[in-house]
Amino acid sequence: MEKKVVYSAVQPSGNLTIGNYIGAIRSWVKLQNDYDCFFAIADMHAITVRQEPAELRRRTLDLAALYVACGIDPEKCALYVQSHVSAHAELCWVLNTLTYVGEASRMTQFKDKSARHADNVNMGLMDYPVLMAADVLLYQTDLVPVGADQKQHLELSRDLAIRFNNRYGETFRVPEPLIERGGAKIASLQDPFKKMSKSDENPNASVFLSDDRDAILRKFKRAVTDSGDAIVASEEKPGITNLLGIYCAFKGCTMSEAEASFAGMGYGDFKLAVGETVADALAPIQAEQKRLLSEKKYLAELLAAGSERAFRAARKTLSKVYRKVGFYRE
Ligand code: TYM
């Protein structure tokens, strides 16, 4: 039987946080044995906000090494750079003609990013979710493992697939988001009502995958907590709940197991324990990423093999789309 298809991507913009790891990359690793997986480095999405070209290039390779260091097996998955497969841009164009300006401008992330980058509200920023739809639909994807913040974008992917199929006949598989219960939304360590983000201005808000042990412990030490002293997950304790969630994600335990192991402990010791768990888990990943980055040729080869594989799959869908919309072919 044919394997189901999984597609996901991360942008090489800024330093990745433990939110990106828990919400996305880590869950991909669990899927690679059972699904036909495509994991991209979304450099075309990244340029919707200004990037320093040399930095973007460096971060793209950093991210490839990170994927592998986190356990993505390039033999099992197509691991590639989005801009290496031109079909993404080509399908995006066709999907643009099916997307209403109204629906694109209503996207929460577009509104947030427009407010944050008011001097650069470019067409690409508004087109961001349409390019995501092109990414996903090109591979006839069944499942898209992402964090909760991407749910709305994937609803647009589904709508566009259905709209295209209705207009031109059955062409795209309609994808489902796969949002993990535990790690779907890791919050900022400084404001538990805000998503932990690569671009937060407060240096203590986000734990980066590249942070060393001291920085990780310091950030957890400064993490905001709640009133009272019980270490329990509840709506009244968003700070503690977030820290418990991070602990569980890295330790692989349930909330109640975590609560039981911290019963009677003070906030200070609890935060130290969470920080140590995260630092211990990240250390081997950081070491492996560093080792891989010294093997540039290996990384270049695996990305070339990945884009070759992606290209073959993408071309099939794109030819079908071009035929369906009526583009003349010999
Ligand atoms: P990016 O780079 O902004 O985020 C990458 C992934 O990390 C997840 N994520 C989080 N999960 C939990 N808690 C957080 N605090 C947190 N912050 C980020 C995001 O949900 C995402 O899964 N637009 C996508 C990249 C992309 C893509 C695609 C994804 C491009 N094309 C096609 C799926 C399918 C994005 O959010 O990148």
- Same-domain pairing of 165 and 56: yes
* 246, part of any domain: yes
Are 145 and 173 in the same domain?
Answer: yes
Q: Within 13 Å of residue 135, how many CA atoms lie on the same side as its CB?
A: 31
CA–CA gap between residue 285 and residue 248 (Å, rounded): 18
- Which residue(s) pair with 195 in the sheet? 187
Q: Are residues 83 and 103 both part of a single domain? A: yes
Same domain, 169 and 230: no
Q: Are residues 162 and 85 in the same domain?
A: yes
Distance 70 CA to ligand 1 centre (A): 16
**Is residue 197 domain-resident?**
no
207: in domain: no
CA angle 57/63/69 to nearest 5° reads 145
Mark whether 169 and 280 lie in a shared domain: no
Residues 225 and 301 placed together within one structural domain of the fold: no
Is 195 catalytic? The answer is yes
pLDDT of residue 182: 73
Q: What is the model's pLDDT at position 293? A: 98
State the Cα–Cα distance between residues 36 and 301, nearest whole angstrom.
20
Is residue 195 domain-resident?
Answer: no
3-class DSSP assignment, residue 189? coil
Q: Which of 198, 221, 251, 320 is catalytic?
A: 198
What is residue 129's predicted lDDT score, i.e. its pLDDT? 98
Residue 205 lies in a domain: no
Nearest to 132 by CA among 250, 222, 231, 44: 44
In this prediction, residue 2 carries a pLDDT of 87
Q: Based on the domain organization, do 161 and 217 belong to the same domain?
A: no
Give the pTM.
0.96
For residue 236, what is the enclosing H or E element?
none
Active-site annotation holds for 316: no
Q: What is the pLDDT of residue 162?
A: 98
Q: Can you give the pLDDT at residue 180? A: 86
Asked if the structure places residue 148 within a domain, the reply is yes
Task: Please indicate, yes or no, whether residues 305 and 281 belong to a single structural domain of this protein.
Answer: no
- Selected catalytic residue, list 113, 219, 237, 271: 113
Q: How many residues does the chain have?
A: 330
Total of domains in the chain: 2
- For residue 191, the CA-to-ligand 1 centroid distance in Å is 20
Task: Tell me which long-range contacts 59-64 makes (C-beta under 8 A, separation of at least 24).
Answer: 59/12, 59/13, 59/14, 60/12, 61/293, 61/296, 61/299, 62/12, 62/289, 62/293, 63/10, 63/12, 63/16, 64/299, 64/302, 64/303
CATH number at residue 12: 3.40.50.620
* pLDDT in single tens digits along all 330 residues of the chain: 789 999 999 999 989 999 999 999 999 999 999 999 999 999 999 999 999 999 999 999 999 999 999 999 999 999 999 999 999 999 999 999 999 999 999 999 999 999 998 999 999 999 999 999 999 999 999 999 999 999 999 999 999 999 999 999 999 999 999 998 777 899 999 999 999 999 899 999 999 999 999 999 999 999 999 999 999 999 999 999 999 999 999 999 999 999 999 999 999 999 999 999 999 999 999 999 999 999 999 999 999 999 999 999 999 999 999 999 999 988
Distance 108 CA to ligand 1 centre (A): 14
Tell me the residue range of the domain where 113 lies.
5-179+296-325
If asked whether residues 164 and 27 sit together in one domain, one would say: yes
Tokens of 225: 């907590």
Position 181 scores a pLDDT of 79
In a domain, 18, yes or no: yes
Chain segment 188-217, per-residue pLDDT in tens: 999 999 999 998 999 999 999 999 999 999
Q: Let me know if residue 202 belongs to a domain.
A: no
Tell whether 62 and 156 lie within a shared domain: yes
Cα distance between residue 182 and residue 198, in whole Å: 20
Residues with CB under 6 A from ligand 1: 7-11, 19-20, 22-24, 42, 45, 132, 135-136, 144, 146-147, 149-150, 183-186, 195-196
Atom of ligand 1 nearest to the CA of 128: 23
Backbone angles phi, psi at 206, to 5 degrees: -120, 140
Instruction: State the CATH number of the domain containing residue 257.
Output: 1.10.240.10
Whether 151 sits among the annotated catalytic residues: the reply is no
Instruction: Tell me what pLDDT residue 307 has.
Output: 98
| DSSP character at residue 2 | P
Same domain, 162 and 220: no
